[in-house]
A and B are shown apart, each in its own frame.
Chain A
């Protein structure tokens, strides 16, 4: 036998010896591989107890002065806009309701929030109050979210804008409430428009194309739009569907592929309109490489005269833009197809609040919901955070002039859906990138959008 032979080769058992460096490296590598991939895998763990179970009547006695049981209400959102407001609300609420403790947790972004919520729901322990994101209706159907129509009554809900109610309504049940509503518009720097010789606000897309040509001669971009990630590009595109069809419900049907398809003529027409804007150099170079925060930066650093963005922009400008810039910024509705036509604008309350159906502290959670939506509290909260409210009464008290204007479009009923709730709907944003970069043909892109959505449905 050669000295090189191992115990395995000789058939003898390996001697109990100190671990060799090679064995350690092998084990270490295997461990590293497992550890490396485990974060991807671990997230998919958890129990499968997400099914509905009637909580019955809550055992938690709620209210202020009584000596009932103590209850904890966890509130999970990504609503950083109210990070200074929630502590105030909680403090005032707890003063009136000493038996209820509210634990507020604000995640940085929806991307950080969604996995945590999914894990909590899968484990059968969702927070008492949470932002349901695009899963609002699914959570309702699965018994995770409470029917707030039943819990709070029609009178309570009557004050909410129809658009902010509809998106969270299924078969007559209200599975969440709009917290911050949103509309989109075109913010502009009046000085830059004047310098380029643009008079007044462009009313139609052709007016905007003409204005873009003038602004282009000054070496600046006309309108900044973000399409990084690809789904962001849908915010600009989807309201165009309502414009070409004059049907604000068209996207709702498309979202569910309910009798309509991306290959239908309205979608191709909307893509053709978008292509026309791209070819006329209405947008900044590299739309697909511009993230939301970068789009705002380009606008407030004078790189572009206009910015297509949502109603959270006034607050962002106050926070991030050079001093005084936010004061001079104005906003206009997205242009219409022709003079006098409706200025449809993307509008849905992506930021909503749902209440856990299964929590034993549901009643305490509902008390907190009633408190934060009470007219005096809600209007104050929205105004202090420069956010767009979801109720009529709070909308009448909006103090920020830009936000007030944007809220008026909501009141006028110009809002159209723009959030892809449907299975795989957000995948339509992928092929749209080739319209933004000027390489795509509308009919071909429409076909690819349909294929992309179908593909992810499996």
Chain B
């Protein structure tokens, strides 16, 4: 039983070393193949991230050289009422959209998989179409739908006698962000449903048969077979939704630009306004905006950590 005391893979290690010597030219060729991609990644992703982290510790208007100010920008965020609101909104937006955009697509995927087999392709296609539309186009379309005077939604509510429920959806502080969340859900539902649907195809049908033999109904089957079987996929969907929630920008910018009075302001729209928009007036605040973008980066990294933890649990 000596082999049992060996670390996994130890027995193969000498063979692998030999293989690596023999295949060194192949390995070199492999590295050469990925080199262009790695270079592109470093130039267009790696360098900007490092540069932004650096700029976050400076004051820079885009002219001349940045001046080092240490943690001033991060301290400023604590005192900045709009930044605090943007941070809160970002967390709320990410949390709510993650829950909605995970639970609903899962249920829809299960429905499509179980009850609409005949119409599965048509249903999947219809649900997936919004995901193909760009965020900017979606924003423009929904801005028209939610128009307080000419919008389809208010007209519809008026038409069925629910005029008391009409709102200036994007013009009221209480409804602006929730309205954008609904649009975000509309956009993400199809893609997330498709991911879950693919995951459902990977669950062994005999597990359902065994559950049925044991007398389990639809709910227990869902709870004890489907959900555990989709743990890995769910982890991916959750982390993708979290990342998309934390870096939310385009939809919100097109629909409200963070208004009214910052009610739908998130970190993405705020940092854009400070760096490239008219928020800072004639002098852009690249340093402060970069510090905000670093916060977004940290939040996205946290989302990835969440996914890794979920994957670990799923693998146990």
Contact = CB atoms under 8 A, between A and B. Distances in A.
B48 A424 contact: no
A289 B8 contact: no
B143 A294 contact: yes
A297 B148 CA distance: 12
B149 A228 contact: no
Interface in B218-260: 232, 236, 239-240, 243-244, 246-247, 249, 253, 256-260
Given A15-B9, A426-B281, A437-B172, A40 B259 contact: no
How many B residues touch the partner, as a band? 35 or more
B10 interface: yes
Contacts of B293: 37, 40-41, 44
A301 B144 CA distance: 14
A251 to B, nearest CB: 14
A142 B307 CA distance: 47
Interface stretch (A87-95, A114-122, A258-266, A357-365): A114-122
A57 interface: no
B23 to A, nearest CB: 10
A334 interface: no
Contact of B150 (A3, A15, A114, A301): A301
B12 A29 contact: no
Contacts of A22: 311, 315
Interface stretch (B91-99, B102-110, B284-292): B284-292
B261 A430 contact: yes
B26 to A, nearest CB: 13
B131 interface: no
Contact of B7 (A5, A137, A228, A426): A5
Interface string A281-321: 00011111111001001100101000000000000000000
Interface string A95-138: 00000000000000001001100100110000000000111111
A290 B149 contact: yes
Interface string B138-163: 00000110111110000000000000
B230 to A, nearest CB: 14
B185 interface: no
A221 interface: yes
Contacts of A134: 278, 281-282
A134 B276 CA distance: 11
B256 A45 contact: no
A6 B10 CA distance: 11
A118 B62 contact: yes
A437 B7 CA distance: 70
Contacts of A433: 171, 259-261
A46 B49 CA distance: 12
Interface stretch (A191-199, A381-389, A415-423): A415-423
Given A12-B10, A15-B13, A137-B282, A37 B247 contact: yes
A229 B285 CA distance: 20
Contact of A430 (B144, B262, B304): B262
A44 B56 CA distance: 10
Interface string A352-376: 0000000000000000000000000
Interface string A133-173: 11111100010100000000000000000000000000000
A10 interface: yes
Interface in A228-282: 228-231
B63 A50 contact: yes
B67 to A, nearest CB: 11
A44 B66 contact: no
B94 to A, nearest CB: 12
Nearest to B265: A430
A44 B52 contact: yes
A285 B274 CA distance: 30
B127 interface: no
Nearest to A427: B279
Nearest to B170: A289
B240 A32 contact: yes
B24 to A, nearest CB: 12
A425 B281 contact: yes
Nearest to A439: B173
Contacts of A228: 170-171, 256-257, 259-260
A458 B9 CA distance: 58
B7 A231 contact: no
A38 interface: yes
A1 interface: yes
A205 B243 CA distance: 50
A341 interface: no
Given A12-B10, A29-B307, A44 B247 contact: no
Interface stretch (B118-126, B188-196, B294-302): B294-302
A426 to B, nearest CB: 5
A286 B260 contact: no
A100 to B, nearest CB: 29
A200 interface: no
A137 to B, nearest CB: 6
A33 B282 contact: no
Given A29-B308, A118-B62, A285-B149, A42 B45 contact: yes
A288 B51 contact: no
Contact of A420 (B48, B65, B278): B278
A303 B149 contact: yes
B130 interface: no
B243 A135 contact: no
Among A111, A229, A285, A301: residue with most chain B CB under 10 A = A229
B296 A40 contact: yes
B177 interface: no
Contacts of A135: 282-284
A422 B282 contact: yes
Contact of A286 (B45, B66, B171, B278): B171
Nearest to A12: B7
A455 B48 contact: no
A36 B300 contact: yes
A227 B176 CA distance: 14
A230 B259 contact: yes
Contact of A33 (B62, B243, B277, B286): B243
A334 to B, nearest CB: 22
Contacts of B288: 458
Contact of A15 (B12, B244, B277, B296): B12
Contact of A288 (B4, B244, B259): B259
Given A22-B315, A44-B51, A290-B149, 7 more contacts: A17-B9, A33-B300, A34-B45, A38-B45, A41-B52, A114-B278, A228-B259
Interface of B: 4-5, 7-10, 12-13, 16, 20, 44-45, 47-49, 51-52, 55, 60-66, 76, 80-82, 143-144, 146-150, 167-172, 232, 236, 239-240, 243-244, 246-247, 249, 253, 256-262, 268, 271-272, 274-286, 288-290, 293, 296-297, 300-301, 303-304, 307-308, 311, 315
Which 3 pairs of residues, A with B, have the shortest CB-CB distance?
A289-B171, A286-B148, A286-B168
